[in-house]
Structure formats: C-alpha cells, structure tokens
Homo-oligomer: A and B are copies of this chain.
Amino acid sequence: MNFRILKKAKRGYGRLGVIETDHGVIHTPSFVPVGTQATVKGLTVDQLRSLGTESVLCNTYHLYLRPGDKTVKKMGGLHKFMNWDRPIWTDSGGFQAFSLGAAIEHGVGKIASIFPGRNQKDVGEKERVIKDGLTRITEDGVEFRSHLDGSKHLFTPEKSMEIQENLGADIIFAFDECTSPLHDYQYTKKSMERTHRWAKRSLVAHKQKEKKQSLFGIVQGGAYKDLREISAQFIGSLSFPGFGIGGSLGKSKKDMYKVLEWTMPHLPEDKPRHLLGIGSPEDIYECVKRGVDTFDCVLPTRLGRNGNALLSGENLNIKSGRYLKDKKPIDKKCKCYTCQNHTRAYVSHLFRANEMLGPILTTIHNLFFMEELMKGIRKSI
C-alpha cells in the first residue's frame, strides 16, 4: 500500500489523497461501504462498481464464524470469494467479539451489554468479565460466544492477524478493545494500555507473515484528552502504514470532534487515518476538516434497507403513505440508477409490499449519495 497526499485544504486539516493497493486505488477522503458477510446487502458487485464504490469493509468476526476464514482462504481469499476486484478492508473482529458475544448472553443491544458495573465486573487490571463469565477479556485476548450458536471462541492479537491474513483483505486492523462512552477513566486507561500491548503483538504476528497486506494500528483512549494523546503518540510511533481511530468518541458530536482534535496532531501526517464506524454525512464533513481520510459505516446501507433515503436536507422516509402517488424520484437532482429510473410512488409501493427491490433501490441511492458527497468534499479541498 502506498499513500500520497495530493493537496491540503487551505482551512482546517483536510487532505486530498490517494491510497494505492494491489487491487486499485482509493481516492481520499473516501467513504467505505460495509459488506459484513462478504456482500454489501442486496447489491451485486457490478451494481456496487457502477456506483463508483472503490473499496468495501468486511467484518472479521462474522466471516470467521461463517463461512470461516479458512474456507475463504481455500476459495482464494475474500476478493475471489466475493468476486470484488477492488480494495477490501477487514476490521480486527474485536468490536463484534465484545459486543455481539455479550449481547447474545444478555439479550440486549451491543453497547448496553458492555456497560461497566452493570453486566460486568472489573477484576483488577487483568480481566474484564462480562456477566456470567461468558465473555472474558484478559491480557491474552477476548473469549466470547458466537451469536450464531453460542459456541466458545478466543480472539487474540495473533489470532486476529491469522484470520485477517486468511481473509486476505488489502488493509487490515490491529486487534483492539473498543470501549464505550460509559467506561470510566480508569477502565478506559487500562483498556488502552492493553490495546497498546495488543498493537505490538499484532505487528509482530503480522510481520512474520503476509507482506501484501497493510496493517493499520488503532488509537483508543475514549473521550479523555490525555489518553487520546498518549494513545495517538504511542500507536503513531509504531511502524503501522496507517491508523484507525476507534473506541468511544464521547457522547456528542462535539465530543467526537474534540477527540479528533486531540488525536490528529500526534499521528504521522503522511499516513492515512481511518475513522471506524462513523459515516453520517454531517459527521463526515466535520471529520474530514479534522484530518480523517477514510470512513466506514453501516448507516447508508442500513438506512436504505429500512426505507430511509439520504438527501442533502432531511432524510426521506420512503415508506410513508404520503409518497404513494408521488411521481418525483427520491431526489430530483440525483443521477443514481434509482432516481433516474423510479418514482417515490414505486419505491414506496415496494416497501409497503415487502418487496426486496425496495431496500435494493434505496441502498443504491444512499451509496451513490455517499459517493457524490465524497466527490464534493474532494473537490472542495
């Protein structure tokens, strides 16, 4: 992988750049759609390519459980498996291992399930045990239960590297613990320090193996200024070719912007920065200004499947009865396949009739919207 900065914004810290991988380039700032299970839900790879999508991010946790990273490797790696010849990212698997593993035990949402003091007890520095001891975080790694069948698994930095190498994405991430906004300073600090040790272990495990993949380190430290600074300095000093910013970004958009302002100055300027799991249009504007190069998020695809079409102003809930006789496209100015071919009335009908084509058409619109948004941002730099 190679990263070149083509231009810097006159105001703020935005950069125009290009990430070059063996599978093609990513023009930054870029939004990366999520293809959790080796598919961006509902779209063929041809449709995805025609939207201008340059890369996708798949989830290590899901693919490890199903169909299994070894199966994907046997099939020639993720690119061949899903027949996507452009760049692929995989995350570290940490976030889902903590959250989905815990969620299934407790039947609760993913963040609620890792509240400190609620569903877990904190056993000194060495161990975080989530209720009933079914999900355990130790110095070694995280022991969790599959959300599919309850079977027990262990992710360590070494295991995460092995899985991600089997999957064969172009850009992979170091194994980290993702803390929530409800973790206190003490826990966030301990967790961050462990993540730092895991980052070094990830690097060591990675260096011994696949050279074609680029391993990004992940900055943690929650919404605490000194921790973010320490983490950015530490992770930034390691030999990663790029960085992810992970974990809690606070409780508000303002908190998130602050976290970025604390973090960015301590990361090497010439390496790309990926903001994990963030992707609402307004967030992207603000985060690019603060120096973020790439984003991944399920938001545009998930909103699309649920009938929420992205617009420059307020989103449009296409399922609403008010659109049943509306001859306009979702967005008059939009050049996407959906808006060029179909009315709101038709898409609304599809959703109300539980037809697959409704989610498909709205996903197409939303991902195209994101591509256009990023094009506009790149132009403005």
Are A75 and B353 in touch, CB under 8 angstroms? no
Residues 339-350 of A, flagged 1 when their CB comes within 8 A of B and 0 if not, give 001110110011
Quick check: is A357 within 8 A (CB to CB) of the other chain? Answer: yes
Residue A355 CB within 8 A of the other chain: yes
Would B46 and A327 count as touching, CB distance under 8 A? Answer: no
A337 contacts partner chain B, Cβ-Cβ < 8 Å: yes
Q: Are A82 and B45 closer than 8 Å at their CB atoms?
A: no
A4 within 8 A of B: no
Inter-chain contact B71/A353, CB cutoff 8 Å: no
Contacts of A357 in B (CB 8 A): 39, 41-44
Question: If A325-B74, A359-B356 touch, does A346 touch B83 (CB 8 Å cutoff)?
Answer: yes
Q: Which residues of B contact A37 (CB under 8 A)?
A: 349-350, 353, 355
Q: State the Cβ distance, A336 to closest chain B Cβ, in Å.
A: 12
Please state if B42 and A349 are interface contacts (CB–CB under 8 Å). no
Partner of A83, one of B39, B342, B360: B342
A82 CA to B325 CA in the complex, in Å?
A: 13
Q: Is A18 an interface residue (CB 8 A)?
A: no
Asked if residues A67 and B361 are in contact (CB atoms below 8 Å), the reply is no
Asked if A373 is at the interface of the complex by the 8 Å CB criterion, the answer is no
Contact B82 A360 (CB under 8 A): no
Residue of B nearest to A43 (CB): B357
- Contact at A45–B341, with CB atoms within 8 Å? yes
Contact A82 B41 (CB under 8 A): no
A68-94 vs B, CB cutoff 8 Å, 1 = contact: the mask equals 000100111000011100000000000
State whether A346 touches B44 (Cβ < 8 A): no
Give the CA-CA distance A83 to B344 in the complex, in Å.
12
Q: Which of A23-77 contact B (CB under 8 A)?
A: 37-39, 41-47, 62, 66-67, 71, 74-76
Given contacts A66-B349, A75-B345, A345-B81, contact A361 B42 (CB under 8 A): no
State whether B39 touches A325 (Cβ < 8 A): no
A352 an interface residue at 8 Å Cβ cutoff? yes
Interface bin, chain A: 35 or more
Asked if A324 CB lies within 8 Å of chain B CBs, one says yes
The reply to whether A67 and B359 form a contact with Cβ atoms under 8 Å apart is no
Interface centre among A44, A83, A342, A352 (most CB of B within 10 A): A44
Contact of A38 among B81, B324, B337, B346 (CB under 8 A): B346
Report how far A74 CA is from B327 CA in the complex, Å.
9
The docked-state distance in angstroms from the alpha carbon of A45 to that of B361 is 11
Complex partner residue of A346 from B66, B81, B349, B359, CB under 8 angstroms: B81
Query: With the chains together, A349 CA to B357 CA distance in Å?
Result: 21
Chain B residues near A66 (CB-CB < 8 A): 349, 352-353
Q: Closest B-chain residue to A363, C-beta based? A: B356
In the complex, chain B residues whose CB is within 8 Å of the CB of A43:
357
A341 surroundings in chain B (CB, below 8 A)? 44-46, 83
Chain B residue numbers with a CB within 8 Å of A360 are 42, 44, 356, 360
In the bound complex, how far is the Cα of B62 from the Cα of A346, in angstroms?
15
Residue pair B67, A352 in contact (C-beta under 8 Å): yes
Q: Which residues of B contact A47 (CB under 8 A)?
A: 44
Question: Do B361 and A44 have beta carbons less than 8 Å apart?
Answer: yes
Question: A71 and B345 in contact (CB under 8 A), knowing A39-B350, A44-B337, A350-B39?
Answer: yes
Q: Which residues of A contact B (CB under 8 A)?
A: 37-39, 41-47, 62, 66-67, 71, 74-76, 81-83, 324-325, 327, 337, 341-343, 345-346, 349-350, 352-353, 355-357, 359-361
Can you spell out 8 A-B residue pairs with CB atoms less than 8 angstroms apart? Answer: A37-B353, A39-B350, A45-B341, A62-B353, A71-B325, A81-B345, A83-B341, A360-B360
